[in-house]
Amino acid sequence: MENYKKSLKIIFAGTPYFAAYHLKKIISSHHTVLGVLTQPDRPNKRGNIIIPSPVKIIAQKNNIPIFQPKNIKNKKNHLDLLSINADIMIVVAYGLLLPKFILNKFSMGCINIHASLLPRWRGAAPIQYAILNGDKKTGISIIQMEEKLDSGNILYQKSCKISKKETTISLTKKLYKIGSKSILKILKKIIEKKIIQKKQNEKKITYAKKISKIMGKINFNINAKKIERMIRAFNPWPGTYIIIKNYRIKIHAAKILKNNKKYHIGEIIKINKFGIQIQTKKDILNIIKIQIPGKKIIKICEFIKNKNHIFNIHQII
């Protein structure tokens, strides 16, 4: 019982809200966060306001020292961080590979909370790729960090189901709740020296490369099933879209309709209150929520009431 009450001195590294949720959980525990490493402040989407990361905001609220090096590989940029006498570093979606001199600094090492069941979906976008590929389950992995990307021994894993309507937003929420509970369990085991490490199966490695904006453009020359997954996987960013009559139309929700008739790929087959039906390589994509530039997300049943002529029957997209 005495071991469990022991407070670890922690350096936390992370950047997005997924990481911030974990940081809040650790701060609320009996452990002590001595410093936070997060990426430099960035411009917002419009580029006119510089905003701090969600992790930085939490650190500021709790008066925790913040480190935001512009060059993570330069040891001179980390002298203050390296002078802190912490036991362990916890890394959650920091966004950059940490150099060896940081990984070797802490007596209990560096551990990483990764949003997949490693070795599946190593890399920057494991949540999106799990949805894109139609995975039935995913989870979180806590690993001992090494220099190579997401390659360390597994300390703990916890799985969860991926529903048929799952988006990146909803799955992210599931996983940060699981991860934030799991990290406290693992810290307890580390203190008690009850950790059993497991090597990753090199034969089962898959990679989730970084998502780019261009990946959100819909190509109807693929199956409706794959496009529908794209819409859910790229929600909220980068979003999926089509370009029609010089409008960049974002697609926020769609369903798959089975079809045996032959239409041209990309042809608008039907427009009614239930959706805009477009032929794909296989089956029909029925679009039910869209967003016109500068407007709010709208259901198709509301869109057609405005008698908007952006979409026309038999039009090829």
Say if residue 116 carries a ligand binding annotation.
Answer: yes
CA distance 260 to 284: 10
CA distance 143 to 91: 10
Residues 53/56/58/59 CA torsion (nearest 10 deg)? 170
The CB-side HSE value for 302 (13 A sphere, CA atoms) comes to 9
Q: With residue 189 as reference, give the H or E element that holds it.
A: helix 168-192
Residues 62/68/74/80 CA torsion (nearest 10 deg)? -30
Cβ contact 238:215 at 8 Å: yes
Say if residue 141 carries a ligand binding annotation.
Answer: no
Distance of CA 90 to the CA centre of its chain: 18
Q: Are strands 32-37 and 66-67 parallel, antiparallel or unpaired?
A: parallel
Cβ contact 57:64 at 8 Å: no
C-alpha distances (whole Å) from 274 to each of 19, 253, 288, 303 are: 39, 12, 7, 11
Say if residue 8 carries a ligand binding annotation.
Answer: no
Beta-bridge partners for 291: 250, 297
CA distance 137 to 141: 13
CA distance 126 to 115: 6
Say if residue 119 carries a ligand binding annotation.
Answer: yes
Q: Which residues are annotated as a binding site?
A: 116-119
Q: Which residues are annotated as a binding site for (6S)-5,6,7,8-tetrahydrofolate?
A: 116-119
